Amino acid sequence: MPIPASPVSKSTHPKPAARAKGRRPTPLRGLGICALALLGLASAGLAQAADTKAKKPTMQQVLESSKPADWRALDPASTLYMELPGGRVVIELATQFAPLHAANIRTLVKQKYFDGLAILRVQDNFVTQWGDPDADDATKARSFGAASKSLAAEFSRPAQGLAFTRLPDGDVYAPEVGFSDGFPAARDPKTGQAWLAHCYGMVGAGRSNEAESGSGAELYVVIGHAPRQLDRNIATVGRVVRG
């Protein structure tokens, strides 16, 4: 779905309740899942200073020592290619967390809905957002065709039966954090719910103030610090794997 770069349009919110004007990301109040890589590097430095024998591997060393069995292939049916002037972006859809949005996005892509549309905005340290700049003008908006214009909210899902690798570190936004099939995720044992975390590279579906107003026709990707306050407020539909 080629999307040429363009000037920032009048659309200004990833609609996390996205059109709620004035809403801005707030700094993390504590260490969470998205800070684990930096925390690991810092901890490694402290450990080296305290005990040279207790050296922790660097991220590069971990990658170099990994085996093919440590990786998984992307499902072609859940993989999107977005062609930009600067290169290809590969997106993996989170079908286990947002099946309705994933299916609707597939329909939009097959209909070439995104072809020729625009990058609506790039906000440093927050998100890059794309979609139809004329979406609010009924006379100019691109047709949805067979796709739905709104979907039920998919902010969380039952944790039961969901593969989950829990991390030992604490998190101020969720009782437990970890990874589910490669996606950064969180869960609450008391409520039995699990959800995707707004970490770097995660893709969300813009919406209006109503919870059931997103469709996947307007998407954004986190390009800065992790706006975890958006967790369970927007349908997180995938992640950027490359690009």
Q: Is 71 helix (H, G, I), strand (E, B) or coil?
A: coil
Query: In this model, does residue 40 exceed pLDDT 60?
Result: no
pLDDT in tens, 69-102: 988 899 999 999 999 999 999 999 999 999 999 9
pLDDT confidence of residue 93: 98
Domain range list for the chain: 71-242
- First vs last C-alpha separation in the chain: 14
pLDDT mean over 138-155: 96
What pLDDT, in 10s, does the model give residues 66-75? 999 988 899 9
Q: What is the DSSP string of 171-198?
A: -SS-SEEEEETTEEEEEETTTTEEEE--
Q: What confidence category does residue 55 fall into, taking pLDDT thresholds of 50, 70 and 90?
A: confident
Instruction: Give Cβ neighbours of residue 196 (< 8 Å, ≥ 6 apart).
Output: 94, 97, 98, 180, 183, 184, 185, 186, 202, 231, 236
- Is 191:76 a contact under the CB 8 Å cutoff? no
Q: Which CATH number fits domain 71-242: 1.10.510.10, 2.30.110.10, 1.25.40.10, 2.40.100.10?
A: 2.40.100.10
Q: Which conformational region is residue 213 in: left (phi greater than 0), alpha (psi within -120 to 50 degrees), or beta?
A: alpha
CA–CA separation, 96 and 89 (whole Å): 21
d(CA 219, CA 64): 33
pLDDT in tens, 204-231: 999 999 999 899 999 999 999 999 999 9
Residue 42's contacts (CB-CB under 8 Å, 6 or more residues apart) are none
